[in-house]
Amino acid sequence: MHEIMAIWSEWLKPSAGLPTVQWSILLAVAAAAGHLIQRYTGLPKVVGYSVIGALAGLAGFSGAAWPLQGISLFLLELGVAVVLFEAGGRIALRWFRHNPMVLLQSLLEAALTFVFVYYLLGWAGVRPAVAEALALIAMASSPAVLSRVVMDTRAAGPVTERAMVLATLSTLYALTLVAARAGMMHRPEADAGLSDTFYPVLVVLGLSIVVGAALALALRVALRVMSPTSENTSILLITLIAAGTALAAHFGGSAPLAALLGGMLLKQLNPRPWAWPRQLGTASSLLVMLMFVLVSVVAAKADWNPAVAGLVALLVVARGVAKVLGVGLANWGSGLSWRQALWTGSAMSPMSSVALLLVSQFMASSANLGPRIASIALPAILLMEVLGSVVCTLAIYRAGESSKPWAVEGAGGPVQPGELRG
């Protein structure tokens, strides 16, 4: 790949720069691969995006340097912020008053994920600071992958809605705790008291709430004079999220967390159903696809070796068991059957852009521990972006919430999970 790029650079000098050409071609190939994989296997398009990005990363694609910085980091943050704003807009806080077991499910699955991953990695010989960081990263599910799977399968129902809510809440916890923990990694653990532990959490959460509230209020004012179905309202939404993304990180908050909280606050101020996802259209889809490809390109560049593979397997298994167990233990009185609770926990398995953003924060905060964290987290992210989306798809079909048959073209018509033809 490096030799090809060197040859190109000798005679190809585009006005926008060679990286623009590289990314344009890569995204075009990823779009075609996503379409073909969904058409011929019935799997979601994100699998195709991830596979193409991973192949490009393994081939030495030079368009995404690690650790992320500059425009690539901003694009990742913006893509995550747009997805989380929409995800936050699905959560009505009054729902938790009527069904508090949902909140208990969220807290329990996140806590069990942290405990299982932390102690299993510690048992495997990982130093405590690295195990703690990986356990915090593992808490976050991927609303981006889940929303794309839901879109591709045209799913709707209690399992789909519950999985989206729980994935969004787990992301909220992880963003808050990682932003605070990353800011303290340069300090000796012996010097950290109880107040020193909670103060960074309050700072990150407080600044993010301020930015999120400003975003929600600005959009609420706009909705008084603009229609939610107008494309101009959608443009206003994206530009305000972009501005909030740039400002939140600058002031010491978390840009994705601010967008998530902004969506939740706007839902309380404007409880009517939103039409924005339809209006965002191609621009939002391109941004989300770029995010998936960027994640897989970067994750594929990790140092793959047998020792790391064992730790990655431990992390993935511990995380999967904890999420299913956490949702199941708090399922009594939550409105789901036990079978639905199993599929809900399984649908929360994907990891993607949020996890990569969390790893990037640790890389920026500690030159010593950051690379060790990334060496385990990056392969796990790549694995669970692909495998997690497949598991999520199977869970939705098993729950019976997809209105679209599992169609495999050329295999004799629609196929249901468990009846795949050989």
DSSP 48-81: HHHHHHHHHHHTT--SS-SS--HHHHHHHHHHHH
* CATH number reported for the structural domain that contains residue 246 in this entry: 1.20.1530.20
The reply to whether 247 falls in a domain is yes
Judge whether residue 100 has pLDDT over 70: yes
Most confident of 14-28, 76-90, 197-211, 218-232: 76-90
Q: What does the pLDDT read at residue 161?
A: 92
The reply to whether 374 falls in a domain is yes
57 vs 249, higher pLDDT:
57
Q: Which residues pair with 402 in a beta bridge?
A: 155
Predicted confidence band of residue 339 (pLDDT cuts 50, 70, 90): very high
pLDDT in tens, 345-387: 999 999 989 999 999 999 988 888 889 999 999 999 999 999 9
Which whole number is the average pLDDT over 109-125?
Answer: 96
pLDDT in tens, 163-188: 999 999 999 999 999 988 887 776 65
Q: How far apart are CA 327 and CA 151, in angstroms?
A: 23
Phi, psi of 61 (to 5 degrees): -55, 130
Residue 146 identity: L
Q: What does the pLDDT read at residue 277?
A: 52
Is the overall model pTM greater than 0.95, yes or no? no
Domain boundaries, position 148: 67-405
2: which residues sit within 8 A by CB, 6+ positions away? Answer: 60, 62
Which whole number is the average pLDDT over 330-340?
Answer: 89
Q: What does the pLDDT read at residue 165?
A: 94
Q: What does the pLDDT read at residue 286?
A: 83
Q: What does the pLDDT read at residue 393?
A: 94
The sign of the CA dihedral 206, 137, 373, 243 is negative
Half-sphere exposure of 280 (CA within 13 A, CB side): 19
Q: What does the pLDDT read at residue 419?
A: 46
Q: Are 165 and 143 spatial neighbours (Cβ–Cβ below 8 Å)? A: no
The reply to whether 61 falls in a domain is no
Q: What does the pLDDT read at residue 304?
A: 78
Which whole number is the average pLDDT over 115-127?
Answer: 95
Percent of the chain surpassing pLDDT 70: 86
Please name which of 142, 134, 157 lies closest in space to residue 49, comparing C-alpha atoms. Answer: 142
DSSP string of 247-297? Answer: HHHHTTS-HHHHHHHHHHHHHHHS-SPP-HHHHHHHHHHHHHHHHHHHHHH
Judge whether residue 10 has pLDDT over 70: no
Q: What does the pLDDT read at residue 213?
A: 92
Domain count, the chain: 1
- Tell me the chain's radius of gyration from C-alpha atoms: 21
Task: Provide the mean pLDDT of the chain.
Answer: 84
Other CB atoms closer than 10 Å to residue 245's CB: what's the count? 26
The reply to whether 420 falls in a domain is no
Assign 305 to helix, strand or coil.
coil
Other CB atoms closer than 10 Å to residue 415's CB: what's the count? 15
Predicted confidence band of residue 4 (pLDDT cuts 50, 70, 90): low
**Letter string b/e over residues 140-157, b meaning 16 or more CB atoms within 10 A of that residue's CB:** bbbbbbbbbbbebbebeb
Task: Point out the least confidently predicted range of 184-188, 191-195, 209-213, 228-232.
Answer: 191-195
Half-sphere exposure of 121 (CA within 13 A, CB side): 32
Which whole number is the average pLDDT over 95-100?
Answer: 83
386: which residues sit within 8 A by CB, 6+ positions away? Answer: 47, 50, 51, 54, 296
The reply to whether 421 falls in a domain is no
104 vs 420, higher pLDDT:
104
Judge whether residue 413 has pLDDT over 80: no
Q: How far apart are CA 351 and CA 100, in angstroms?
A: 26
